[in-house]
Amino acid sequence: MAHLVSVNVGRPREADWAAIGYTSMDKTPVVGPVAVGELGLAGDEVSDTRHHGGIDQALYAFAREDLDAWGAELGQEINPGQFAENLTTEGIDVNEAEIGERWQIGEVILEIRSVRTPCNDFKAWMGLSGYDNTAWVKRFAQVGRPGPYLKVLAPGSIAAGDELQVIHRPGHGVTVSTMFRALNTDHRLLPELLRVPDLMPKARDKAEQYIASTGGLPTPSRG
């Protein structure tokens, strides 16, 4: 059964290593129910609002299975929340989920909207946390399993242990991993993103600019 391992929150704190001088990357698992609103979890606050947060990035999910894979590579366990995820999941491959896929957790309904892009703050945070962060941004990108950003369609409350159900899968085949690779490591995949009906504007612009510059066309529909 797919479920939440933990629900993690953090507030801004000063950090001279962070690009804007403070960060909310240090997230801690919460015991008991946590309210979920349009902009995310109660008790969680975005620091860098230029690049994070808002209704289309209200929550960030990362799989326990992927944390374990990174832990094996780095030679030490990774605790929930270490990757600054709000939701640590188990039993579902969040990176093979489709853009626009909808999840229900209790009374809360979430929609996958976009993907996380690693940055130097992430690299610094890993190093300060005692992990080998050598070429971290490149290594994280090469794996291509970034975890999704989620929009809240129906608010409510959630807690560790809650079941996660997939209640809608669009069927266009553009997964979280596909979007990440298209935007970051293999631009030849950019036309694929246009399969997504309600694609994020920045992603749509990048795909359309790629097609205009290369003369390429979106790959014919698989369906």
DSSP characters over the chain: --EEEEEEE---EE-TTSTTSEE----EEPSS-EEEETTEETT---S-TTTS-SGGGSEEEEEHHHHHHHHHHHTS---TTTT--SEEEESS-TTSSBTT-EEEETTEEEEEEEE----HHHHHHHHHTTS--TTHHHHHHHHT---EEEEEEE-EEE-TT-BEEEEE---S--BHHHHHHHHHT-GGGGGGGGG-TT--HHHHHHHHHHHHHH---PPPP--
**Do the Cβ atoms of 36 and 108 come closer than 8 Å?**
yes
State the pLDDT at residue 216: 62
Q: Alpha-carbon distance 138 to 118, whole Å?
A: 8
Q: Which amino acid is at 144?
A: G
Q: Is residue 178 part of a domain?
A: no
Write out pLDDT tens, residues 117-162: 998 899 999 999 999 999 999 999 999 999 999 999 999 999 999 9
Give the per-residue pLDDT at 19: 75
Q: How far is CA 106 from CA 4, 32, 217, in A?
A: 11, 13, 41
**Dihedral Cα 63, 166, 43, 15, nearest 10 deg:** 30
Q: What's the confidence (pLDDT) of residue 223?
A: 35
Q: How many CB atoms lie within 10 A of CB 129?
A: 14
Which pLDDT band, with edges at 50, 70 and 90, does 222 fall under? very low
Answer yes or no: is 202 within a domain.
no
Domain with 149 in it: 3-170
Task: Give domain status of residue 176, yes or no.
Answer: no
CB 192 within 8 A of CB 176: no
In a domain, 30, yes or no: yes
Q: Report the number of distinct structural domains present in the chain.
A: 1
Domain assignment of residue 80, yes or no: yes
Report whether 115 contacts 147 (CB < 8 A): yes
**Residue type for 104, please?**
Q
In a domain, 93, yes or no: yes
pLDDT band at 65 (very low <50, low <70, confident <90, very high): very high
- This prediction has a pTM of 0.91
pLDDT at 59 over 50: yes
Least confident of 64-78, 91-105, 117-131, 174-188: 117-131
List the beta bridge partners of residue 89. Answer: 4, 63
Q: Which residues pair with 151 in a beta bridge?
A: 111
Q: Residue 37 sits in a domain of what CATH number? A: 2.40.33.20
Q: Which residue matches tokens 């993907």?
A: 115
pLDDT at 53: 63
CB 108 within 8 A of CB 158: yes
The reply to whether 134 falls in a domain is: yes
Task: Tell me the pLDDT band of 51, cut-offs 50, 70 and 90.
Answer: low
Q: Is residue 143 part of a domain?
A: yes
